[in-house]
Amino acid sequence: MSIQWKLLVVILVVALPPLLMIAWLDRAALSDLGDELRLVRREALVMEAGQRLQGLAQLHAADLMASADEVPPPGPLPGLDLSRHQPPEAWAGALEAQVVAAGAIGAGEVQSGAAALLAATALSRPAGFVIGRRGGDGAASRVVAFARLGARLGDSPRALALTLPVAALEPALLAAEARAAGAIERHLAVSGTALALFLTIAVAFSVIFARTITRPLASLNRAVRDMAEGHLDAKVILRTGDEIEALADSVNQMLPKLRDRLKMRDALSLAMEVQQHLLPAAPPVIGGFDIAGQSVYCDETGGDYYDFIDLSELAPERIGVAVGDVTGHGVAAALLMTTARALLRSRARLADHGPALLQALGRTVGEINRHLAEDTQGGRFMTLFYAIVDGGDATIRWVSAGHLPALIYDPETDYVHRLEGEDIPLGIDPDWTFRAQERGGWMKGQIIAIGTDGIYETKNPEGEMFGQQRFVRVLRRHADRPAAEICAAVVRALARFRGGRAQEDDVTLVIVRKLA
């Protein structure tokens, strides 16, 4: 059962019974209260009738008393014979139907006691009057109802009289009020007790239900903490039949993938550490050159690489500069780059540095290509720009294996020359013959800039590429600065141009300035 259904069951079990019970209690209590209120209303009407009759008696007490003496007594008044007629208590309950008739005979219609009696006996319904006085204040002492009889006594109709002391109405009204108040108190007591009972049950049930959710969550939390501490062999076994069990199953399915990713992360960390150590810690110090290089990777490990090979032992003021770009990123790219670096370093110093230097340079790159093609067996390749810079004869000799052209920038003339090549990348065709090229006349202050396509292809948030023109503008603005500062300026310009967009490719740049 899902958690949503469990919550629905809790709501039904916890909330519905108290509501039904309270509704039932309210209905029962209100029914009792209605009975009591109806009784209070009836007896209040009786009290009102008594008050009206008291006022009538105070106005015409003397006439009523005289009129009573004028009625020929038929013997004992039938209304006083309680064995033959309903008692005053029962009469008080029936007086509500007589109030209208009693109030219909107002003080203005009563001219004498005899007229009052005749009016009473002429009514089709009983009429109530007050007769008698209590003490000398003229207050009524009894309520009398006359009911017309079919028999006559002489010329006067015979009347049936029922009496009730006025004072008996007030206790009855107070008793009815007390009964109504008692009914309300009983209702409140029962409702409060029932509500407290059901709230207790609801709280207990909620605690039990909460434990059915928190217990598996606690188990899941412990398992996740163990995973965070490196215990990736643990499993979460939960059988709750809801989303928590589904979450536990997802965690169990995640563990093997997490282990693989951690292994990959460790491998990447190792590869990155190796790769960082393979990059030059500092450029070689060779008279007449100012050299600097920098790589910025978009992943933990990148496919770009650069290297400086000191060839001053073979010829003064001679240095080898290599910049490569392996397809893809990650461990495989880093391994291919490492292999290419090792091959180039092992063969660069063995090449013929005599008059046949150009041919030797082409053969060196060809041997590296053949080894990479045999090792990679297709699918991966790398571009490479390898140049031998000679300050002694002011000549640059290079091989471009599918790489971007290097640039020579002359601050004096603001001229940019491209060092291009037509060879294919390394690792594609093991039998490819690479041809070296050369350019003389390298003058003081001129800058050689060798980079990877990550520079030109850096995009801003609108998708526009950085391009060669912006790159040359950066070189122009910082041409009089040291080589390391020029590299840093290019990296900053790329970051500003990229804005909030993530770096999508590795960026590598080598700057060589001729000092003399």
The residue-averaged pLDDT of 165-179 equals: 54
Taking the CA atoms of residue 236, residue 240, residue 244 and residue 250 in that order, the dihedral angle to the nearest 10 degrees is 50
List, edge to edge, every strand of the sheet that includes 507-514.
Answer: 289-296, 507-514, 447-451, 406-410, 415-419
Query: How does pLDDT run across 471-491, given as a tens digit for each residue?
Result: 999 999 999 999 999 999 999
To the nearest whole percent, how much of the chain has pLDDT over 70? 60
- Three-state secondary-structure class, residue 396: strand
Query: How does pLDDT run across 102-127, given as a tens digit for each residue?
Result: 333 333 333 333 333 334 434 333 44
Asked if the structure places residue 192 within a domain, the reply is no
Q: Verify that 297 and 161 share a domain, yes or no.
A: no
DSSP 441: -
- Give how far the C-alpha of residue 459 lies from the chain's centroid of Cα atoms, to the nearest Å: 35
Asked if the structure places residue 197 within a domain, the reply is no
Output the 3-class SS for 53-116: HHHHHHHHHHHHHHHHHHCCCCCCCHHHCCCCCCCHHHHHHHHHHHHHHHHHCCHHHCCCHHHH
Of 314 and 373, the one with more pLDDT: 373
Q: Given this model, what pLDDT does residue 312 score?
A: 82
329 vs 301, 326, 365, 375, 501, CA distance in Å?
7, 8, 23, 18, 19
Beta bridge partners of 165: 142
Tokens of 140: 């009524």
d(CA 284, CA 292): 9
Q: Given this model, what pLDDT does residue 267 score?
A: 74
Last residue of a domain, one of 144, 172, 200: 172
Query: How does pLDDT run across 219-245, given as a tens digit for each residue?
Result: 777 777 777 777 667 677 777 666 777
Of 500 and 43, the one with more pLDDT: 500
pLDDT at 508 exceeding the cut of 90: yes
pLDDT at 388 exceeding the cut of 90: yes
Which uninterrupted H or E stretch holds 389? strand 382-390
Q: DSSP of 466-504, one letter per residue?
A: -HHHHHHHHHHHTTTS-HHHHHHHHHHHHHHHHTTSPP-
CATH of the domain at 361: 3.60.40.10
d(CA 333, CA 365): 19
**Mean pLDDT estimate for the chain:** 71
Structural domain harbouring 119: 3-172
511 vs 188, 322, 323, 378, 514, CA distance in Å?
93, 11, 11, 32, 10
Q: How many residues does the chain have?
A: 516
Of 166 and 510, the one with more pLDDT: 510
Residue 77 contacts residue 161 (beta carbons within 8 Å) = yes
Q: How many domains does the chain have?
A: 2
Asked if the structure places residue 198 within a domain, the reply is no
d(CA 229, CA 147): 102
Q: DSSP of 137-196, one letter per residue?
A: TTB--EEEEEEEEEEEETTEEEEEEEEEEGGGHHHHHHHHHHHHHHHHHHHHHHHHHHHH
- Three-state secondary-structure class, residue 294: strand
Asked if the structure places residue 241 within a domain, the reply is no
Last residue of a domain, one of 105, 137, 172: 172
pTM: 0.56
Q: Verify that 291 and 160 share a domain, yes or no.
A: no
pLDDT at 354 exceeding the cut of 80: no
Asked if the structure places residue 476 within a domain, the reply is yes
Query: How does pLDDT run across 50-69, given as a tens digit for each residue?
Result: 454 444 444 444 444 433 33
Angle between helices 483-498 and 467-477 (to 10 degrees): 140
pLDDT at 157 exceeding the cut of 70: no
Binning pLDDT at 50, 70 and 90, where does residue 189 land?
A: confident
d(CA 113, CA 216): 94
The residue-averaged pLDDT of 402-408 equals: 96
Q: Given this model, what pLDDT does residue 2 score?
A: 55
Asked if the structure places residue 18 within a domain, the reply is yes
Q: Given this model, what pLDDT does residue 112 score?
A: 34
DSSP 282: S
d(CA 387, CA 276): 22
Asked if the structure places residue 457 within a domain, the reply is yes
Of 355 and 170, the one with more pLDDT: 355
Tokens of 478: 């910082």
The residue-averaged pLDDT of 309-320 equals: 86
Q: Verify that 290 and 412 share a domain, yes or no.
A: yes
Binning pLDDT at 50, 70 and 90, where does residue 431 land?
A: very high
Q: Verify that 168 and 288 share a domain, yes or no.
A: no
Asked if the structure places residue 89 within a domain, the reply is yes
Q: Given this model, what pLDDT does residue 361 score?
A: 92
The residue-averaged pLDDT of 25-43 equals: 60
Binning pLDDT at 50, 70 and 90, where does residue 7 land?
A: low
User: CB atoms < 10 A from the CB of 104, how many?
Assistant: 12
Q: Given this model, what pLDDT does residue 274 score?
A: 72
DSSP 351: S
Last residue of a domain, one of 127, 142, 172: 172
Query: What is the widest separation between alpha-carbon atoms in the chain?
Result: 173
Residue 252 contacts residue 223 (beta carbons within 8 Å) = no
Q: Which of 11-20, 76-85, 185-194 has the lowest mean pLDDT?
A: 76-85
